[in-house]
């Protein structure tokens, strides 16, 4: 297999990190700050990953670890059993007319991940109820029979809170002399630094994403 030169690899081996990256808060950030190719999101590390304000200790939280592993294992099993890749699996996930029990369970576990990540931020007041909403506006008269760009997501996202947290951490790091402060979210290079500190929630679990799935 020949990989594209635009491929980015993140050597994160915990299910906690997987959970933080898969949940709706990071998805919301990526859809807002990422670039696009035709009508599809193109994940750009400089604006999607480097500037994202992860929850504290995001790479090693045991609460995120448990739900992240459960979601990951189900997704692997589902793709193997259905002989479907990730693209087709998530096309079904976001399809409002898809009612199969395995996709319903994947959606349920995704909501569980969302809840765990929101709680990690301390945002317990935000609902995790999702709806099938269009990713962008379309002209119904000219759209024709093409598949509509639905996405299973929150009607009320957390972008405003993430931006506020990003700005707060940037100011804190500037005050500490860690880097010259330049206004603008694209300059916040270490917003994820909250997750780099020593953890008080226990050691990193021995199971990792690189272990063989039973």
Beta strands in the chain (DSSP E): 35-37, 40-42, 131-134, 150-153
pLDDT 10s digits, 110-127: 999 999 999 999 999 999
- Residues of the chain falling short of pLDDT 50: 183-206, 210, 213-214
The separation between CA 48 and the C-alpha centre of its own chain, rounded to angstroms, equals: 10
Q: How far apart are CA 94 and CA 92, in angstroms?
A: 5
Per-residue model confidence (pLDDT) at position 69: 97
- Count up the domains in the chain and report the number: 1
- Write out the two tokens for 156: 């009320």
Per-residue model confidence (pLDDT) at position 186: 43
- 98 lies in some domain: no
- 76 lies in some domain: yes
| pTM for the structure as a whole | 0.79
> Is residue 137 exposed (0-12), middle (13-18) or buried (19+ Cβ within 10 Å)?
exposed
The separation between CA 58 and the C-alpha centre of its own chain, rounded to angstroms, equals: 12
> Is residue 6 exposed (0-12), middle (13-18) or buried (19+ Cβ within 10 Å)?
exposed
User: Looking at beta carbons, which pairs linking 160-168 to residues 24 or more positions away fall under 8 Å?
Assistant: 161/121, 161/123, 162/25, 162/28, 162/29, 162/52, 162/53, 165/53, 165/121, 165/191, 166/51, 166/52, 166/53, 166/191
Per-residue model confidence (pLDDT) at position 174: 84
Q: How far apart are CA 155 and CA 64, in angstroms?
A: 23
Domain of residue 180: give its range: 15-88+107-125+159-196
Helix, strand, or coil (residue 10): coil
- 131 lies in some domain: no
Closest listed residue to residue 158, CA positions, set 16, 10, 30, 18: 30
Q: How far apart are CA 56 and CA 155, in angstroms?
A: 25
- 176 lies in some domain: yes
- 7 lies in some domain: no
- 214 lies in some domain: no
Per-residue model confidence (pLDDT) at position 180: 60
- 141 lies in some domain: no
- 34 lies in some domain: yes
């Amino acid at each position: 297999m020949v990989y594209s030169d635009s491929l980015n690899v993140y050597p994160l081996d915990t299910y906690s990190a997987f959970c933080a990256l898969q949940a709706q808060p990071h998805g919301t950030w990526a859809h807002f700050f990422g670039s696009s190719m035709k009508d599809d999101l193109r994940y750009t590390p400089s604006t999607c990953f480097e500037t994202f304000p992860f929850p504290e200790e995001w790479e090693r939280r045991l609460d995120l670890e448990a739900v992240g592993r459960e979601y990951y294992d189900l997704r692997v099993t589902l793709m193997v059993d259905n002989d479907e890749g990730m693209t087709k699996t998530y096309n079904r996930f976001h399809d409002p007319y898809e009612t199969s029990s395995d996709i319903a369970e994947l959606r349920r576990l995704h909501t569980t991940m969302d809840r765990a990540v929101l709680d990690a931020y301390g945002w317990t007041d935000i609902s995790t109820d999702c709806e099938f909403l269009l990713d962008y506006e379309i002209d119904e008269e000219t759209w024709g029979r093409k598949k509509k760009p639905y996405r299973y997501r929150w009607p009320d996202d957390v972008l405003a809170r993430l931006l506020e947290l990003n700005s707060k951490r940037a100011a804190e790091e500037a005050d500490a002399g860690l880097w010259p402060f330049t206004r603008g979210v694209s300059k916040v290079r270490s917003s994820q630094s909250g997750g780099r500190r020593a953890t008080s929630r226990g050691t990193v679990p021995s199971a990792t994403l690189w272990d063989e799935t039973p």
